[in-house]
Structure 1
Amino acid sequence: MAIDSMLIAELSDPFCLTAGEADTLLDGHPWHRFAILGDSVAEGLTDPVDGYHPLAFPDRVRVELARHRPGLAHRNLGVRNLRAAEVLATQLGPALAFRPDLALVICGANDAMRPGYEARADAVDATLAALIRPLQAAGARVVTVSLFVMPAYPSMPAWLGPAFSRRMSMLGRRTTALAETLGTIHVDLATHPAIGTGDALTGADGLHGNGRSHAIAAAEMIRRLSREIQGA
């Protein structure tokens, strides 16, 4: 059975791609080498949801890009639990060696989720910039993401503190501001309208996005890439 025939819920979800939309949006894209850097979101940690595509959004985007570029080379360097400095130390070198012309950078959440992020926020921003600038200098268009921020995370351990959502919102705002400064292709999900629908976007751990949230994120990134392709 073709996978599209299994996406009953996704194809009727107002925040997701319609049938054939990705093909239209990415037609003629210029990218040949796609690198993914970051933490668990980049790695693709998610829980499946019936009726939605099984791939996490970074790999879903990679598949859609490859439809128009069958020889697309890709490398996903994402590793769960890493803070931004660890991503910089372990992934930037391999990413540059891969010579991407498109790079997705997703990290900072493991810094922001912990108490005391407010005092470390400038350092996290500087680390993100130290990841992004060399990729840009090497010729890659860099995509950054401000992740979905839930109003509350009731499943999170008490030690993370009651201000967990506020810290994640702060990371989202700062990532968006940094993206504007550095000129990245930015996907802002932090205040996406899907958050207010009452439908679950998190998986069993109460933190990482489920299949629906990844489908929405893929749609937003593909739409944003389309605007880049069109020069908008």
Structure 2
Amino acid sequence: MRRDPVVNLSLPAAGEADDPGCLRDGEAARLLDGLPWRRLVVLGDGRAPRRVERVDGYDRAPWYDRVADALRVVEPRLACLSLLGGREQSAAAVRSRQLPRALAFGGDLAVVQLAGHDVLHPAFDANALRTEVVRVVAPLREHGYDVVLVTPFDLTRSPGARLLGEKVLRTRQRAQSDTCATLALRHGALYVDLGARHPAAREEVWSEDGLVQNGRGQAVMAAAVVRTLGDHLRAARPVSAP
């Protein structure tokens, strides 16, 4: 399996335009040229922040709006439905509450955020998580969706997740990552592992509560999704004859 490029988010950046983890001017148009998607749905266990915590030099747009805006650079008529709520939900709740609405939407691209709700739960069960993720991804694929699974930045660096202890968090997050990588391969989905892609990320991407990304984290997460979609499109293009 191809490994994502590693971007050191602990390096200082003057702002979004100079941050290697963020999209450059014109990058979305280049990466997404010829995209086939017209209807995007966003679902998952993360919450939609009412207000993204400000970071100097960064826009406060949430990651899912950024992804939709990037797609609209190429397809201005793109429709987007976000099913993220005001609080975290378990993967089981995503499957029972959000999935039916996503299927009814009749879209062609789904981004599924697994923000770590189950990983942080005291009764974490890796097998139960795997079952629920399958029960979300498989129906989406059967209904014609291209699916992107996204798992969080390194939770051991999150001020809001440290009570569990670093060893426990690493073990649980590794189990989640392994599960998603395997299921993505098996079901023909794409996978964005933010924890592996940006291993040096510390508080630079987290809000003060440590459970939601700040302005920088939102920008980096969106860029990772867009770049993954761009890689997928590039791999799918036919090779021109010499």
TMscore range, shorter length: 0.7 to 0.9
Q: What's the C-alpha RMSD, in Å, of the aligned pairs?
A: 2.2
* CA distance 1:17–1:153, change in 2 (3 Å): closer
Aligned residues: 221
Distance in 2 (alpha carbons) for counterparts of 1:204 and 1:9? 19
The one-character-per-residue Cα deviations of 1:64-114 (angstroms, maximum 9, x if unpaired) are 111211111110011222100011111111111100100111136211112
* CA distance 1:101–1:173, change in 2 (3 Å): same
* CA distance 1:226–1:38, change in 2 (3 Å): same
Query: 1:119-198 alignment to 2 at 5 Å?
Result: 120-156=125-161, 158=163, 160=164, 163-193=168-198, 195-196=199-200
Question: 1:53 deviation in Å?
Answer: 2.4
Q: Note if 1:204 corresponds to 2:211.
A: no
Distance in 2 (alpha carbons) for counterparts of 1:127 and 1:148? 21
TM-score, structure 1 normalization:
0.86
**Which of the residues 70, 78, 82 maps onto 1:72?**
78
Question: 1:161 deviation in Å?
Answer: 5.1
Question: 1:18 deviation in Å?
Answer: 1.4
1:153 and 1:165 in contact (8 A); partners too: no
What is the aligned partner in structure 1 of residue 65 from structure 2?
59
TM-score, structure 2 normalization:
0.83
Question: 1:128 deviation in Å?
Answer: 0.7
Mean Cα deviation higher: 140-149 or 196-205: 196-205
Distance in 2 (alpha carbons) for counterparts of 1:47 and 1:30? 33
1:33 and 1:73 in contact (8 A); partners too: yes
What is the aligned partner in structure 1 of residue 100 from structure 2?
93
The one-character-per-residue Cα deviations of 1:121-147 (angstroms, maximum 9, x if unpaired) are 111111111111111111110110121
Question: 1:222 deviation in Å?
Answer: 0.9
**Tell me, what secondary structure is at the counterpart of 1:14?**
coil
Q: Note if 1:115 corresponds to 2:119.
A: no
2:46 and 2:115 in contact (8 A); partners too: no
Question: 1:192 deviation in Å?
Answer: 2.4
Percent identity over paired residues:
35
Unaligned runs of 5+ in 2: 1-12, 237-242
What is the aligned partner in structure 2 of residue 31 from structure 1?
37
Unaligned runs of 5+ in 1: 1-6
2:35 and 2:233 in contact (8 A); partners too: yes
